[in-house]
Amino acid sequence: MKRTSMMLQLIVILFCVMAVPTAILTWYSGQQMMHHSEQAIADSSLAGLEASLKLNESLLNNLSQNTVRLTATHIFDRIRPYETYNELNANFVTINNARAVLYQLLNLNRMGEGVASSFFHLADSDYEISTEKGIVELTRPESLDWITEALEDHRGISGIWVPRQLDSGEHVLSYVLSLNRLSTTTRGTIVVNLKEREIEQAYDSSGSGQRGYMVLDSDGTVISHKDKAMLLQNTTEDPILAEILQNPAQEGYEFHKVDGERMLYTWAKSDHFGWTSMSVHSVDELMASSQARLRNIIILTAAIILAGTILTVFLATWVSKPARELVRTMRMRGNLGVQSKNELDFLDAAFKRMREEEEGLNQLLQKREQDARSLAVYQLLRGVQTPEAADVFPWGSFIVSILSIDRYRSYVGETNPETRTYHRYLLITHCDNLFPQGIRTECVYQGEGCFAIVLNFKGTDRERASTDIRNALIQTRDKAAELLNHSVTIGVSSPTDDRLEIPECVAEAMEAIKQRMIDGSGGIHYETKNDLDKKYIYPANSERRILNFLDQGDLESIAKELKLIGDEIRSAEYVSYDNILFVYYQLVGVTIKHLRENNVSTARIFAGRGNVYAALSSIDTLDELEDYVYDFCREIVQYLARTPGDSNQYGQRIVQYLHEHYREEIVFQDMAKEIGISYSYMRKIVYEMTGQSLSDYLNLLRIEKAKELLQDTDLSITQIASDVGYYNVQSFNRFFRKFEGMPPSSYKAKCRTNES
């Protein structure tokens, strides 16, 4: 769609919006119309069938009632004594009695429409009185066996209806009524033959779609049917008819496909006779009118869609004209670097690029504004007053706090420059949001793990402001520890109402931080006045004992002596930070002097350790000072006691460790403890073996492994950086360029070129 013109897209969209719902609505309406038409036709057919059934039941009930009433006249008692044909014809009286019975039977025929004939047979006699044959002798008694079979399972005094075919070939429905003592004293049987055509007249219809009817008894035998060849046939083998007969519902209808034609079967069951009446209709013929209407609707819908299509083209052209003209103008008047035939895609890309440029400008302005604010704060910390500083800090009272990262050198060893920059950004951002309203806060980074926080507030409510600042500094300390994953110490100056005294507040806060030397890391320390009249302490006896223990190689005693010095310092309330550093400076200096007096090369011992005094001044707490001096002495003892092969032995272990763990984040201090030597000694061994620092050797090892992966695999630069121990691609690229003079992507391309 990005290469399709806007006008064509609008045509497609408008066409779909108009045509698709119209087509769906037409289809749905047609389906509903056909469905409801089928239901209406089925209901109408079922209603007609029920009317025919009631008419037929009324006809049969009237005929049976007339027959029963005839038995109540006792007309048949007149011939009861005459069991033989000869007795019946013996004289005029008996013949006259027989004629009276015949006359009544003729009257019965006239009372019921469609009666073909009727007859009476006296029980155990050899004659019958028939309206068709008259008074005749039974030459074939077996002709009445069907009556015996029909009445065999019959119970009750009512008659039964039996479908049969007469000798003449005519199909009738015979009503057989056996006389009993409840109705008359004469024993015999009356049979009334109703023409099957009378039942046909009740069901047959010449309407559209009529395919026939049928009346079935409970056994599935055809009682009445349009096709006379089907009469008295059993229909249970027809699956459709068998299913209807087994259906427990008294009435209903079903649709079935017969010989490719859809047929409607309706049925109604008679409770009185136990018969099932059915009618069959062709649904296709009945639905011809509905289908014709549906076709007309479809034709009308197609015409509407065609007209809508023409309107759609006109609307799409009219609606897209302003956008097409705008795109044409933008392409003519400016080069946005966007290549696209589609106007919407062009405008989207153009506006997106303009939005990106606007965001870039906003970010640049925000950065410039932040840089200006930070510069004003830096100058204020140095005692330089600027107009911008007055805008940043509008109120008259100030407090300066210094946030210092504890064990900063350890923190630097555990993180890379990108991570430290990100940590500084997070800390400065959160610091501005942790202080309550009424206190203006600006935080800037001063280097070496120190952040200066300038707090500005109204001097009229200094006590409340001090409480709020104290609580906010606690939150700042905890948040900084969370962000850096490293503890911090905060030093706080005394309040001042003079902007020119802010540099002195900075110095006070820095002095307050030095209290962590005694109190430990992670605290908040407030400015205290130094007592300059107090004297320095120095454990001179401990100095001599440490030198003696050093000559003896007794590290355990050195550790105990250093512990005594630390306890003495902690117990002296007047001791200052400078006094503590002086003590350990003196111990280290006396030790180095002692070694030189004994012709021991200190350069070989402390190669790679760096400036010992700078390292001491960077240590935060007294416990760390003790550990550092102890490691210092242990390194001397190890050097004095080692054999020439020790260096090679430790060197092999160091190299093996680096090869096994180069993919991990290695903390060199922990590595030295695991190997069993001091960190400075380990650095010296690596430098003597490789001529490189420990950090450079590790990075070079990682880059060599990365070169193998770049040459032999199809892994991405990011995956390779992660596989060789770098947690971001920027650090990997920087070290790769440092050792190979090119970025990893260029090295990979060079390898592919050489292979080809």
Task: Give residue 489's pLDDT.
Answer: 92
Q: If pLDDT is split at 50, 70 and 90, which confidence band does 287 have?
A: confident
pLDDT in tens, 458-492: 877 777 888 888 888 888 888 888 888 888 999 99
- Mean pLDDT estimate for the chain: 81
In angstroms, the CA 52 to CA 36 distance is: 24
pLDDT in tens, 5-17: 666 777 777 777 7
In angstroms, the CA 167 to CA 469 distance is: 126
Q: If pLDDT is split at 50, 70 and 90, which confidence band does 1 have?
A: very low
Q: What share of the chain is helix, strand, coil (3-state, %, to 5)?
A: 60, 15, 25
Stated as kind and residue range, the H or E segment containing 7 is: helix 6-71
Helices (H) and strands (E) in the chain, counts: 28, 16
Amino acid found at 225 = H
128, exposed or middle or buried, with CB in 10 Å at 0-12, 13-18, 19+?
Answer: buried
Q: If pLDDT is split at 50, 70 and 90, which confidence band does 283 have?
A: confident
Task: Give residue 119's pLDDT.
Answer: 92
Give just the sign of the alpha carbon dihedral 267, 272, 274, 275. Answer: negative
Question: Within its chain, how far is the Cα of 194 from the centroid?
Answer: 75
582, exposed or middle or buried, with CB in 10 Å at 0-12, 13-18, 19+?
Answer: middle
pLDDT in tens, 483-514: 888 889 999 998 888 888 888 898 888 888 88
Task: Identify the residue whose tokens are 């209903």.
Answer: 252
Task: Give residue 341's pLDDT.
Answer: 57
Stated as kind and residue range, the H or E segment containing 450 is: strand 450-457
Q: If pLDDT is split at 50, 70 and 90, which confidence band does 4 have?
A: low
Q: If pLDDT is split at 50, 70 and 90, which confidence band does 203 have?
A: confident
Q: If pLDDT is split at 50, 70 and 90, which confidence band does 118 have?
A: very high
Closest by CA to 684, choosing from 697, 693, 676, is: 693
Closest by CA to 68, choosing from 162, 227, 190, is: 190
Task: Give residue 192's pLDDT.
Answer: 93
Closest by CA to 651, choosing from 684, 699, 673, 605, is: 684
Contact 458, 490 (CB under 8 A): no
Give just the sign of the alpha carbon dihedral 85, 87, 91, 92. Answer: negative
In the chain, where are the structural domains located?
45-286, 393-526, 540-698, 699-755
In angstroms, the CA 178 to CA 160 distance is: 9
Closest by CA to 528, choosing from 540, 542, 515, 545, is: 515
Task: Identify the residue whose tokens are 């044959």.
Answer: 133
For residue 206, pLDDT beyond 60: no
2, exposed or middle or buried, with CB in 10 Å at 0-12, 13-18, 19+?
Answer: exposed
Dmax (CA) for the chain in angstroms is: 181
What secondary structure does DSSP assign to 490-502, as a single string? EEEPPPBS-GGGH
pLDDT in tens, 42-51: 888 888 888 8
In angstroms, the CA 68 to CA 213 distance is: 30
Q: Of 147-161, 311-325, 574-588, which gets the smallest average pLDDT? A: 311-325
Bridge partners for 525 per DSSP: 491
For residue 447, CA distances in Å to 311, 421, 450 come to: 72, 11, 6
Mean pLDDT of 408-432: 83
pLDDT in tens, 292-337: 777 788 888 888 878 877 887 777 778 777 777 777 777 676 555 5
The more confidently predicted of residues 716 and 334 is: 716
**For 483, what's the count of Cα atoms within 13 Å in the CB-facing half-sphere?**
21
For residue 587, pLDDT beyond 60: yes
Question: Within its chain, how far is the Cα of 132 from the centroid?
Answer: 88
* pTM exceeds cut of 0.85: no
Ramachandran sector of residue 156 (left: φ over 0; alpha: ψ -120 to 50; beta: rest): left
Q: Which residues contact 324 (CB under 8 A, 6 or more apart)?
A: 6, 7, 343
Give just the sign of the alpha carbon dihedral 401, 403, 406, 412. Answer: negative
Do the domains 699-755 and 393-526 match in fold?
no
pLDDT in tens, 342-362: 666 767 777 777 777 777 777
Contact 694, 413 (CB under 8 A): no
For residue 410, pLDDT beyond 90: no
In angstroms, the CA 625 to CA 616 distance is: 7
Q: If pLDDT is split at 50, 70 and 90, which confidence band does 339 have?
A: low
Residue 747: φ, ψ to 5°: -65, -40
Mean pLDDT of 670-687: 82
For residue 53, pLDDT beyond 50: yes
For residue 368, pLDDT beyond 50: yes
- What does the angle CA 606 – CA 611 – CA 616 come to, to the nearest 5 degrees? 105
For residue 737, pLDDT beyond 70: yes
Label the pairing between strands 524-526 and 488-492.
parallel
Residue 752: φ, ψ to 5°: -65, -40
Fold assignment, 45-286: Beta-Lactamase (3.30.450)
Q: If pLDDT is split at 50, 70 and 90, which confidence band does 607 have?
A: low
Mean pLDDT of 268-293: 81
In angstroms, the CA 277 to CA 224 distance is: 9
For residue 596, CA distances in Å to 541, 553, 584, 591, 599 come to: 21, 17, 18, 9, 5
In angstroms, the CA 265 to CA 283 distance is: 10
Fold assignment, 699-755: Arc Repressor Mutant, subunit A (1.10.10)
Mean pLDDT of 44-72: 85
**CATH H-level superfamily of 393-526:** Reverse transcriptase/Diguanylate cyclase domain (3.30.70.270)
Contact 385, 489 (CB under 8 A): no
